[in-house]
Amino acid sequence: MTTRTRILLVAAPLAAALAAVLLTVGAQAADDKAQGNAPAPVKPALSVTVTQPQPASMPVKVSANGNVAAWQEASVGTEANGLRLAEVRVNVGDVVKRGQVLATFAADTIAAELAQTRAAVAEAEANHAEAAANAQRARDLQASGALSALQINQYLTAERTAAARLEAQRAAARTHQLRLQQAQVLAPDDGVISARSATVGAVLPAGQELFRLIRGGRLEWRAEVAAAELATLKPGQPASVVPAGGAPVRGVVRMVAPTVDPATRNGIVYVDLPVPGNVRAGMFARGEFEIGVAQGLSLPQSAVLLRDGFSYVLKVGADGKVAQTKVTIGRRWADRVEITGGLDRNARVVAAGGGFLGDGDVVRVVESAAPAQKTASK
Same domain for 155 and 259: no
How does DSSP classify residue 189? S
Looking at the domain assignment, is residue 208 inside a domain?
no
What pLDDT is attached to residue 373? 44
Question: pLDDT category, 103, cuts 50, 70, 90?
Answer: very high
Same domain for 191 and 98: yes
More confident residue, 80 or 210: 210
Percent of the chain with pLDDT over 70: 85
d(CA 260, CA 356): 49
pTM, whole model, 2 decimals?
0.60
Tens digit of each residue's pLDDT (9 = 90 or more) over 169-214? 999 999 888 888 889 999 999 999 999 999 999 998 988 999 999 9
User: Which CATH number goes with the domain that contains 252?
Assistant: 2.40.30.170
Looking at the domain assignment, is residue 85 inside a domain?
yes
Checking DSSP bridges between strand 46-51 and strand 363-368, what pairing results, if any?
parallel
Domain finish residue from 257, 292, 327: 292
d(CA 287, CA 154): 82
Same domain for 188 and 86: yes
Tens digit of each residue's pLDDT (9 = 90 or more) over 123-176? 999 999 999 998 888 888 877 777 788 888 888 899 999 999 999 999 999 988
Same domain for 263 and 190: no
What pLDDT is attached to residue 13? 55
The amino acid sitting at 84 is R
Domain finish residue from 270, 292, 314: 292
In this model, does residue 22 exceed pLDDT 80?
no
- The mean pLDDT value for 267-290 works out to 89
Give the distance from CA 12 to its chain's centroid.
104
Looking at the domain assignment, is residue 151 inside a domain?
yes
Looking at the domain assignment, is residue 153 inside a domain?
yes
What pLDDT is attached to residue 375? 45
Tens digit of each residue's pLDDT (9 = 90 or more) over 280-310? 898 999 999 988 877 888 888 888 888 888 9
Tens digit of each residue's pLDDT (9 = 90 or more) over 36-54? 454 555 666 677 888 888 8
Looking at the domain assignment, is residue 207 inside a domain?
no
Checking DSSP bridges between strand 54-70 and strand 374-375, what pairing results, if any?
parallel
What pLDDT is attached to residue 39? 52
Domain finish residue from 195, 226, 249: 195
What pLDDT is attached to residue 187? 94
Same domain for 301 and 251: no
Same domain for 261 and 303: no
User: Which CATH number goes with the domain that contains 343?
Assistant: 2.40.420.20
Same domain for 180 and 119: yes
Looking at the domain assignment, is residue 31 inside a domain?
no
Looking at the domain assignment, is residue 9 inside a domain?
no
- 15-41 b/e with 16+ CB inside 10 Å = b? eeeeeeeeeeeeeeeeeeeeeeeeeee
342: left (phi over 0), alpha (psi -120 to 50) or beta: left
Same domain for 92 and 183: yes
- DSSP codes of every residue in 270-334: EEE--SS-S--TT-EEEEEEEEEEEEEEEEEGGG-EEETTEEEEEEE-TTSBEEEEEEEEEEEET
State which residues form the domain around 316: 47-58+294-375
Same domain for 285 and 299: no
Question: pLDDT category, 67, cuts 50, 70, 90?
Answer: very high
Checking DSSP bridges between strand 322-333 and strand 95-96, what pairing results, if any?
unpaired
Same domain for 324 and 353: yes
Number of independent structural domains in the chain: 3
Looking at the domain assignment, is residue 39 inside a domain?
no
